[in-house]
Amino acid sequence: MKKYTRVEMMFIILIINIGSSFADDAPMALLPGGNVKPINNNDVQLFSETIDITLFQNYYTVEVNYKFVNRGKEQTVVMGFPSSDGSKVNDLKIELNGEKLQTQSRPGSWEIDVNSEYLHTDPTSIMESLNQFECFEVNFKEGETKHIKDSFKQNYVGTDVMSFFYVLRTGSLWKDKINSIEIRVHSENAPSEFNLANCTFNGEKRSLKEFVETYTDIEPAEDLFFAVNKYLDFDVAKASSVLKPGTKFDYKPRNVTDKDLSTAWVEGTPEYGLGETIRFITNVVHNDYGTALELDSIGIINGYAKSITAFNENSRIKKLIIRTGKESSYDYEEGDKPVISVFILKDTPEIQYLKFKSPISATDIEMEIADVYKGSKYKDTAITEIEFFVNQDL
């Protein structure tokens, strides 16, 4: 049997610890009982392919266009796309020369030795088991060329790093080398929290703002691994109180980081919210605690800034106490003692910046309402937006 090389089993894994795996089409053998297994095909060449990965806000899509050429006699080839338990993709579509193909799910068994060299673990191998394939048949006349397209979408999985991991392997199951492989990443609609300029491709820093990689006449000796860093930031954890939602709006803590001026966090006490708090933790989490970030300053849009009327009618923060700590609980029972900073805010709906005397290393932040500018109609005190400025050098 031909020795496997890492050429075309395109596993796309969007998780740090190998949790979701998908592969390109491979030649399959039908076994008694309806099972299938990958086999070698020494007549049909996978001549070329393009892989387009498009990043969206809550999911990503993959489209792979293949060119197959039959170098042998006329034959019908069974091809399979993995769809294992826990590794299913959404909206899988397979087209042959522009026409959609119907697939049939068949059980199979195949363990893939995934090299984890670029994962955030020790450089070991991880066995990924496949137990089901979406199968379809393609008839090739002698010398005929076929164009096949696979497309699907998948939800993001991960925390501080989103990873795309390609094990190039099943190309070795087809005849000869692959003439060309082109990989393109489209990031125009990527999540705003992705730090696209600071990513990794096969262990080297690369930008995904405009990414194209081309291989020619190859059976590549390495896998393909993308690691997409999130912008270092602080995420909303909780607030001590929240105003009950109305018919059109809610006033949850998360509203302060949604970049939407029509929403706000509003404390939920009967009075002006003195002593009420909103708390944040770093979005880079390792083990039980977050990784400390160097916090330089904080931008804040005070009050309910969706309109001048809403701003004036609701209460705004006048005096804000900020406690920052690291490797501790919210009550700072362990680890470093909190750094306490006090700021007097301007009574304006425009963004204002609160700069610390020197950068503060913190994993969690607590903001407390200490005094307010009273609203003309409501006692409710609001914050529309909060932005943290931290060191982005990962």
Of 95 and 18, the structure prediction assigns the larger pLDDT to 95
Query: What tens digit of pLDDT does each residue of 312-333 get?
Result: 999 999 999 999 886 544 444 4
The whole-number pLDDT of residue 9 equals 31
Task: Report the first-to-last Cα separation within the chain, whole angstroms.
Answer: 45
Q: DSSP states of 136-198 as a string?
A: EEEEE-TT-EEEEEEEEEEE---SSEEEEEE---GGGGSSS-EEEEEEEEE-TT--TTEEEEE
Domains and CATH numbers, the chain: 26-230 (2.60.40.3680), 234-390 (2.60.120.260)
The whole-number pLDDT of residue 5 equals 30
Q: Is the model's pLDDT at 85 over the cut of 90?
A: no
Averaged pLDDT for residues 106-131: 59
Averaged pLDDT for residues 281-303: 78
Query: What tens digit of pLDDT does each residue of 180-222 get?
Result: 999 999 999 998 888 898 888 887 889 999 999 999 998 866 6
Q: Is the model's pLDDT at 301 over the cut of 80?
A: yes
Query: What tens digit of pLDDT does each residue of 162-191 get?
Result: 776 666 777 788 999 999 999 999 999 998
User: Residue 226 is which amino acid?
Assistant: F
Q: Is the model's pLDDT at 54 over the cut of 80?
A: yes
Q: Helix, strand or coil for residue 121?
A: coil
Contact 226, 200 (CB under 8 A): yes
Average pLDDT, the chain: 83
pTM of the model: 0.66
Give the CA distances from residue 335 to residues 324, 330, 362, in Å, rounded to whole numbers and listed in that order: 12, 11, 11
Q: Is the model's pLDDT at 122 over the cut of 90?
A: no
Handedness of CA 152, 154, 160, 163 (dihedral sign): negative
pLDDT over 90 for what percent of the chain? 52
Q: Is the model's pLDDT at 88 over the cut of 70?
A: no
**Would you put residue 352 in left (φ > 0), alpha (ψ -120 to 50) or beta?**
beta
Query: What tens digit of pLDDT does each residue of 17-37 get?
Result: 333 446 678 899 999 888 999
Averaged pLDDT for residues 125-148: 85
d(CA 259, CA 27): 48
What is the CB neighbour count within 10 angstroms for residue 249? Answer: 15
The whole-number pLDDT of residue 392 equals 60
d(CA 155, CA 359): 36
Of 301 and 23, the structure prediction assigns the larger pLDDT to 301
